[in-house]
């Protein structure tokens, strides 16, 4: 929330902007009037519409820019996407400043907004092409019940890309779709592929501990499926390889 709102809710005593120092930091200041973003708008808006652009209330300003994409834009284009991207990045930069993170330059913010706009347009075009393509087939994705007296074990693994830490989890359901058990585990540092394999191992270990031997394992990772089905031990870390070999050999 803005510093003005923080003061109103008695969370803070200072309503000034941390970036430019103006006495009142409200939402219109953060998104439009602060010197940290005003220069970006000046590069985007028609020169003869600058006064109107900065003169309306915040609610009218947002509504006008999203509904009339030609009023302030100097050329035909997707002004609503670019406008929304600048708003989001301006708010992100302001929050970064609150937590002591160095602010990006106005030029960098503008480049980011333009890149986001291009990516959204490209995604929209690809979606339209996919819908129109006769090669695209659509199929319902659903959970299928296991046979009677069997348990279906759905497993998954995940990895934090910035730190490399991984975890896994899963749950077992019976032929009526009822929950029977679930599990989760912190693994440590490994690849996503290994995290998925650890999920298989931990899930099967849990079923054996519970005395369940009729188990169907379901995973959304084709590499894991192929590795287990084709017995490709070279792709699996040695410690995990031994665990999997042992539990898969049980009857």
Whether 241 is covered by a domain: the verdict is yes
Residue 19 lies in a domain: yes
Please check whether residues 103 and 179 belong to one and the same domain: no
Q: Indicate the burial class of 198 (C-beta count within 10 angstroms; 0-12, 13-18, 19 or more).
A: buried
- What's the pTM? 0.53
What's the pLDDT score for residue 128? 73
**Cα of 183 vs its chain's centroid, Å:** 24
Range of the domain at 219: 151-248
Let me know whether 20 and 86 are in one domain: yes
Residue 206 lies in a domain: yes
Residues 7 and 105 in one domain: yes
Question: Do the Cβ atoms of 109 and 86 come closer than 8 Å?
Answer: yes
Percent of the chain topping pLDDT 90: 50
Mark whether 11 and 86 lie in a shared domain.
yes
Residue 101 pLDDT = 80
Asked if 165 and 107 sit in the same domain, the reply is no
Alpha-carbon separation of residue 132 from 125, 127, 244 (angstroms): 11, 9, 44
pLDDT at 124: 81
Please report whether residue 134 resides in a domain.
Answer: no
pLDDT over threshold 90, residue 14: yes
- 145 lies in some domain: no
> Using one digit for the tens of pLDDT, what is the confidence trace for 149-164?
999 999 999 998 888 8
Q: Let me know whether 106 and 172 are in one domain.
A: no
Q: How many CB atoms lie within 10 A of CB 54?
A: 15
The domain boundary, picked from 74, 94, 118, lies at 118
**Domain presence at residue 131:** no
- Reported as a single tens digit per residue, the pLDDT across 20-73 is 999 999 999 999 999 989 999 999 999 999 999 999 999 999 999 998 888 898
- In this structure, are strands 215-218 and 151-159 parallel, antiparallel, or unpaired? parallel
Percent of the chain whose pLDDT exceeds 70:
90
pLDDT: is 87 or 100 the higher one?
Answer: 87
């Amino acid at each position: 929330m803005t510093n003005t709102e923080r003061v109103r809710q008695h969370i803070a005593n200072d309503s000034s902007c941390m970036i430019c120092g103006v006495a009142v930091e409200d939402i219109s200041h953060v998104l439009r009037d602060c010197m940290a973003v005003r220069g970006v708008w000046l590069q985007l808006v028609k020169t003869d519409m600058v006064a109107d652009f900065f003169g309306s209330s915040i609610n009218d300003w947002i509504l006008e820019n999203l509904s009339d994409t030609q009023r302030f834009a100097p050329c035909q284009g997707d002004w609503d996407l670019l406008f929304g991207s600048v708003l989001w990045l301006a708010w992100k930069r302001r929050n970064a400043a609150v937590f002591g993170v160095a602010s990006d330059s106005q030029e960098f913010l503008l480049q980011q907004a333009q890149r986001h706009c291009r990516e959204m347009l490209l995604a929209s075009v690809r979606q339209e092409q996919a819908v129109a393509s006769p090669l695209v087939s659509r199929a319902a994705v659903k959970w299928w019940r296991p046979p009677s007296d069997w348990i279906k074990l759905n497993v998954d693994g995940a990895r934090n890309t910035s730190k490399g830490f991984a975890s896994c989890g899963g749950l077992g359901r019976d032929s009526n779709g009822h929950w029977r058990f679930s599990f989760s585990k912190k693994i440590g540092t490994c690849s996503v592929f290994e995290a998925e394999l650890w999920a298989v191992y931990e899930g099967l270990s849990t079923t054996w501990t519970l005395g369940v031997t009729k188990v169907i394992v379901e995973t959304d990772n084709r590499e894991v499926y192929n590795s287990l089905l084709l017995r490709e031990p070279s792709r699996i870390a040695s410690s995990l390889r031994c665990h999997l070999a042992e539990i898969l050999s049980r009857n």
